Structure 1
Amino acid sequence: MRTRHWARAGIKYVELTSALLDGFLKTDSLAAARRVVSDLGLKAVSCGAERGLWEPGPDRAAALDRLKTRCEQFSPFGIDRIVIPSFSTQKWTLDDYKRGIDAMREVGETAKAYRMIGMVEFIRGTTFIATLPTTLKLTREANHPNVRPMIDVYLFWSGMSQLGDLDQIRPQEIAHVHWADVPDVPRELLDGLTREIPGEGVAPLARILRKLAERGYSGPASVEVFSPKHQQADPYELARGIRQKAEPIMRQAGVL
């Protein structure tokens, strides 16, 4: 697992993904995975990600079964929150959003059984939940203690959300934060693979992190980079480089 390289680079808090865990389980056990994380002195703070759970549709029952499986796998790590993104391309109606609120409550009940929180992650360019305001509106209407909004700073800044939308966040409302930088290219060229290491792009990261702190967020911030140049890089050097560039931004924001 890449976790040993993260620990060597001084990382203390990690987000485990389904892909990372599934890769480990091909040759070893869930108990062994937990031992690896524990022996390295790491604290797993979140996990992800299942999809197809917020949008109404015929595949939701299967998605709920997958969610239960993931909660069963990840909760023994001491993780209390799971990232659930919204990926969709079809056209929706206002009635679909009403059904989506019911879907959130159903997810909340499933997560509650494992003492976990299902976190709504909006995804730029999708058609159901693509912005912070929509995320806040739906989670508030669902009003379930085990469903909370989260924010991915890259998706926030590169998508249709606006900086002023952060003022809508209520104290302690955000459950988790992902972040990465946005390259200086036309926004039309941005996608899930164009994330940059914090400090290598043009997003006002310190300003955004400071605003989130003002709104009461004091939890971890998980750096997410998916481009081939990052995924194929040496895990230790990548983690070390991220720390060197991200920590000054966090200090500037007053969150480190």
Structure 2
Amino acid sequence: MYTSYNEACGKDCSDLMTDLKLCEKAGMDYIEIRLDMLRDFLKTGTLEELTDFFAKSRLKPHAINAVYLRQDFLKEDTGAADDPVMQDFLLACEAGKAIGSHYMIIVPPLDPSGVFTGNVQEAEKDCIHILKKLSEFARPYEMNLCFELVGLKKSCVRTIEAADRIVRAVDEDNVGFVFDSYNIYLCGKCNDFSKIREVQPEKIFAVHLMSADDVPEEEMGQDKRCFPGEGVVDTDAFLKTLGETGYNGMVSVETFRPQYWRQTPEWVIENAYRTVHEALKKNDCLSYL
């Protein structure tokens, strides 16, 4: 498996070009580019500059992160181009085609109230409909969609089993998974990753690796993420289970920790690389580009 960095780790203390240079210096194999940081870069920079950087760098782009779905998205065929979700999707497609990124993270609908109160079965049907449509739109860009379950109560897709039902029903070769160790843990503090063995292994397109603070369930949230090896998520079991499926792709560190954002970009990226490298090496799954 290959080291990767998700820009969420230092999003409030860095910028895209800084991240690219520091990831290359640290030894990362891949980077996941955040859409908000890409937009900030494009205010003064160009996709051509990014293309030129990657052409000369050993660092490679992986997934563009992330497009957040709504249940009513693509319910109507008209006006989709003006929808903010579609604008994010098209930017990811266009940027990916330019720089050589072939993956995009897709997040299921999240209830802003903090608890999903809708009909879960209907929400799954909506996800299937949306992913089928986006699969078609993505093909000219050679883009693959990485569907990401989110274990928080505000999510309509909280478990590996639910995500698997959706991806199987979509049944498109460019729609698969990104498995995130903490997003799985968030549903009932789950450290049992065995259900990963039951999905179609060729559909595992990307992996996010991190641990988290040990807090009561009502305090759990994305801001509790920390670098792998430091918290309560069994990242060893997670990586070993992925290895049993034959997965040998990128493993991207993704945290949303405010304490990290108060550090320097150098500190964030050096520690992200150190911890993901140590985790992969410890579990005998480290590869090099």
TM-score (normalizing by structure 2): 0.81
Alpha carbons 1:48, 1:83 under 8 Å: kept: yes
**8 A contact 2:124–2:157 mirrored in 1:** no
How does 1:40-189 map onto structure 2 within 5 Å? 40-52=57-69, 55-57=71-73, 61=80, 62=83, 63-89=85-111, 90-93=116-119, 94-125=121-152, 126-160=154-188, 162-189=192-219
Provide closer, same or farther for how the CA distance between residues 30 and 91 of structure 1 changes in structure 2, counting only shifts above 3 A.
same
Between the aligned partners of 2:103 and 2:275, the Cα distance in structure 1 is 27
Are 1:10 and 1:240, in contact at CA under 8 Å, matched by a contact in 2?
Answer: no
Q: Which residue of 2 aligns with 1:223?
A: 253
Which deviates more, 99-108 or 62-71? 62-71
Look up the match of 2:220. 190
CA drift at 1:87: 3.4
Inter-partner Cα distance in structure 1 for 2:122 and 2:230 = 42
Residue of structure 2 in register with 1:29 after alignment: 46
Please tell me the residue identity of whatever aligns with 1:27.
Answer: T
Q: 1:96 to 1:238 in 2, by over 3 A?
A: closer
Tell me if the contact between 2:96 and 2:143 (Cα under 8 Å) persists in the aligned partners: no
Larger RCO, structures 1/2 (Cα 8 Å, 6+ apart): 2
Secondary structure of 2:90's aligned partner: helix
> Secondary structure of the residue that 2:226 maps to in structure 1?
coil
Scaled by the length of structure 1, what TM-score is found? 0.91
- 1:139 and 1:48 map into 2 onto residues whose CA distance is 19
One-letter identity of the residue aligned with 2:166: L
| Distance across 1 between alignment mates of 2:44 and 2:117 | 41
Q: Evaluate the alpha carbon distance shift between residue 223 and residue 59 of structure 1 in structure 2; reply closer, same or farther with a 3 A threshold.
A: farther
- Secondary structure of the 1:151 match is strand
Gaps (5+ residues) in structure 2?
Answer: 1-16
Rounded Cα–Cα distance in structure 1 between residues aligned with 2:51 and 2:123: 39
Say if 2:13 is the partner of 1:9.
Answer: no
Work out whether residues 181 and 208 of structure 2, in 8 Å CA contact, stay in contact via their aligned partners in 1: yes
More displaced 10-residue stretch of structure 1: 87-96 or 170-179: 87-96
Q: Secondary structure at the match of 1:105?
A: helix
Alignment deviations for residues 85-139 of structure 1 (CA, whole Å, 9 cap, x no partner): 1232153333443233222110111111211111111112233212211111111
Structure 2 match to 1:214: 244
Q: Cα distance 1:5–1:96, how it changes in 2: closer, same or farther (>3 A)?
A: closer
Instruction: From the two aligned structures, give the one with the greater strand fraction.
Output: 2
Shift of the 217–247 alpha-carbon distance from structure 1 to 2, 3 Å rule, reads same
How far did 1:59 drift? 7.7
CA distance in 1, matches of 2:157, 2:246: 23
Give 5+ residue unaligned stretches, structure 1.
none
Q: In the TM superposition, what is the alpha-carbon distance from 1:187 to its structure 2 partner? A: 2.9
- Between the two proteins, the alignment pairs up a number of residues equal to 255
1:5 positional shift: 1.4
Decide which moves more: 173-182 or 183-192: 183-192
